[in-house]
Amino acid sequence: MIPLRDENPTSHFPLVTIGLIIACVVTFLIVQPSASRSIDSPAPSEVVDQVRFTYQYAAIPCEIIQGRPLTVAEIGATQLRGVSSACVAIPPGRIAFPAKSIALSVLVSMFLHGGWIHLIGNMVFLWVFGNNIEDHMGSVLYLIFYLSAGAVATGAHVMLDLDSTVPVIGASGAIAGVMGAYLIWFPWARIRTLLLIGVIPLWPRLPAAILLILWFLMQFFTVPGSGVAWVAHVGGFLFGTAVAWTARRDPNFRRRLAAHRRLTVGRA
C-alpha cells in the first residue's frame, strides 16, 4: 500500500515538511557517497566509501549503549564475518572514528538513506501525512515533535539488540511518529492509495484509520533479515499516537479538530 495524496486541506504552507524533504534529498544526492545512488552495481571502491561514511556518521546501538565509537575490529567482524552483534564490553584495538559524536549520530541518521526506493518511499509518506500535522502543531512544535519521534524510534530499535553493530539509517522512525499523530487527529480523512493486486493496480480512497492501522500491523510481519528496522517504526508510531492523544485532551484543540472535520467532509 502506497499513499499518493490525502483529501485533507491545510491552512498554512508546510515549510518544515518541505524543508525536511529537501534536507533528506540533498543529503542523499550530495553528502552521502555515491554507492547508495548507483543504479547499476557500484564499484568496490564506492561500496567501501559508503560503508565508511555510514559507520562514521550513523547511529549504531552498541555505540549508543556504551557511549563510544566502534573499534576497527568490531566493524570488521560485522562487515567481513557477518556478525551483527559484535559489540564487546572492553573494546579491543583502535577506535575507527574517535571524533564521532554518538549523540549527534542519532540526529544525522534521520537524514541518511540506503537507496532510491528507501528515500522516495519515506519522502512520499512524509509529504502525504506531514503537512497536516505541521498545520495543526505549528512549524516549531512540529519540528521538535518530528525529531523527538525519530530519537524515540532509534531508542526502541536499540532496545531490541543492545549489542548490534549494524548502523541504523532512514527517516522512517520519525515519519512513523507523524503517521501515529495523523491516525489520532484525522482518522476520517480519505487517502488516495496505490494497491497492487498481483499485477493489477487499484487506487481506492481509503480512510486514514484503515490505511494506518494496516501499516502498523504489517510491521509485526516484517521478514527477519530484511534489514527493516520495524521496531523503530513501531516505537515512533506509538510515540506519535501518545503525543496526539495527549493534545486531544485540550478542549480548544478538540474544537479545532471538529471544525476541520466539518470542513473536510464538506469538501468531499
Least confident of 78-82, 88-92, 162-166, 212-216: 88-92
151 lies in which domain range? 2-267
Q: Which pLDDT does position 210 carry in this prediction? A: 95
C-alpha cell at 77: 567482524
Q: Which pLDDT does position 264 carry in this prediction? A: 66
Q: Looking at the predicted structure, is the pLDDT value of residue 260 above 90? A: no
Q: Which pLDDT does position 90 carry in this prediction? A: 78
Higher-confidence residue of 86 and 38: namely: 86
Looking at the structure of the chain, the number of domains it has is 1
User: Of the candidates 10, 73, 43, 63, which has an alpha carbon nearest to the alpha carbon of residue 256?
Assistant: 10
Q: Which pLDDT does position 41 carry in this prediction? A: 56
Q: What is the dihedral of CA 22, 28, 31, 34, to 10 degrees?
A: -150
What number is the average pLDDT over the span 42-50?
A: 72
Higher-confidence residue of 225 and 38: namely: 225
Instruction: Output the domain CATH number for residue 27.
Output: 1.20.1540.10
What is the per-residue pLDDT across 188-239, written as a single tens digit (0 to 9) for each? 999 999 887 776 777 888 999 999 999 999 999 987 777 788 999 999 999 9
Task: Please give the mean pLDDT across all residues of the chain.
Answer: 89
- At residue 180 the predicted structure's pLDDT band, cuts being 50, 70 and 90, is very high
What is the per-residue pLDDT across 96-148, written as a single tens digit (0 to 9) for each? 999 999 999 999 999 999 889 999 999 999 999 999 999 999 999 999 999 99
- At residue 13 the predicted structure's pLDDT band, cuts being 50, 70 and 90, is very high
What is the per-residue pLDDT across 67-80, written as a single tens digit (0 to 9) for each? 999 999 999 999 98
Q: Which pLDDT does position 42 carry in this prediction? A: 60
Q: Which pLDDT does position 222 carry in this prediction? A: 84
Q: Looking at the predicted structure, is the pLDDT value of residue 40 above 70? A: no
Q: Catalogue the long-range contacts made by 53-58 (C-beta closer than 8 Å, 24 or more residues apart).
A: 54/112, 54/167, 54/169, 55/96, 55/97, 55/167, 56/96, 56/97, 56/100, 57/100, 57/105, 57/108, 57/109, 57/112, 58/105, 58/108, 58/109, 58/112, 58/167, 58/168, 58/169
Q: Looking at the predicted structure, is the pLDDT value of residue 59 above 80? A: yes
